[in-house]
Amino acid sequence: MSLKIHIDDSAPPYEQVRAQISEQARSGALPVGYRLPTVRGLAEALGLAVNTVAKAYRALEGDGVIETRGRNGTVVAAAGPAAVREAASAAQAYAERARRLGLAEEDALAAVRDALRAAYGE
């Protein structure tokens, strides 16, 4: 696992950690079941406060990217049904909001395509 924190970046360090681990898990660079460093170990390696890394790990766990297995450590989670359900729920909420805003279906879809391109770097 390779992470780089850029102090001059506008994103806070915990968000940089979260985004990089999430991207590496999504791309397969961190395979399902890969054991992540401890919060303390990663904080020390990156020169960050323990609370900063802990906040990133909590966010990743909330996103379903990682799971903590007690004394067995923290591992990359399988992106299975829970991730699909969460994505479907977010899509439903977006569709309802776009409709309330009066957006045409084509405009709502265009906004989603733009957001996906930006998120996936295409």
Confidence of residue 55 (pLDDT cuts 50, 70, 90): very high
CA atoms within 13 A on the CB side of 78: 3
The alpha carbon dihedral of 24, 72, 12, 6 has a sign of negative
> By percentage, how much of the chain surpasses pLDDT 70?
94
Find the range with the poorest average confidence among 14-28, 80-94, 105-119.
80-94
Report the 10 Å Cβ neighbour count for 19. 16
Q: Is the predicted pLDDT of residue 81 greater than 70, yes or no?
A: no
C-alpha to C-alpha distance for 28 and 23, rounded to whole angstroms: 8
Q: Is the predicted pLDDT of residue 49 greater than 70, yes or no?
A: yes
